[in-house]
Amino acid sequence: MAKAASKAERRRKRGRPIKQDVARTDSGRISRAANANEPPDKVAKEARMRLHGVSKEDASQPEAGTVIGRMKLSGELSKAQYDGLIRYSMTRERYMIAMGVPDSLRTRAGGVMNVAPDESDIGAVEAWGRVHNAVSEAQRQSNGNLVAALNFMVTRDEYYPHMVGDLRVVSNALVRHYGIDAREQIT
């Protein structure tokens, strides 16, 4: 019996000793990240403050992660304009999914492509047609390039200061199209 205990002791001492009090990943391996114990949102907040010049209070807002969100936080866009642009973005994304565009973030029907369109797909295509007509009408009445402002600043999430005016014009058209109350809303 004593001999069996000594064998178990020897088995236990094999290998490298386990390091105590170190950060580990979910799989149990030692984390090599420099700031593994910091929450991920803290890293995101610091990056927003450093890269975009956002204040500490604004960096904690989810809107600070996009160009139009930062414009809303800085007062360049009203809440109604921001809401119109967000709804445009959601309509566009749903249209891309319905059309089966390969570079869209998600595919419908659980990743299965080449499925016959259902009612929601047809509704998404019709909704996109109505939004496209509203933007086209605003473009006909404006001297700027509203479609480029939507493409670069909303879809691609790139900031171009010379397009801010055009973005405001097209966001006002989207506010009218979606029927959003244009009076400043209290949040």
Look at residue 162 in the predicted model and tell me its pLDDT: 95
Region for residue 92 given its phi and psi (left: phi exceeds 0; alpha: psi -120 to 50; beta: otherwise)? alpha
Cβ(100)–Cβ(112) below 8 Å: no
Reduced to 3 states (helix: H, G, I; strand: E, B; else coil), residue 29 is coil
Of the segments 54-63, 88-97, 101-110, which one has the largest average pLDDT value?
A: 88-97
Structure-model confidence comparison of residues 173 and 24, the more confident one: 173
DSSP 119-153: HHHHHHHHHHHHHHHHHHHHHHT-SS-HHHHIIII
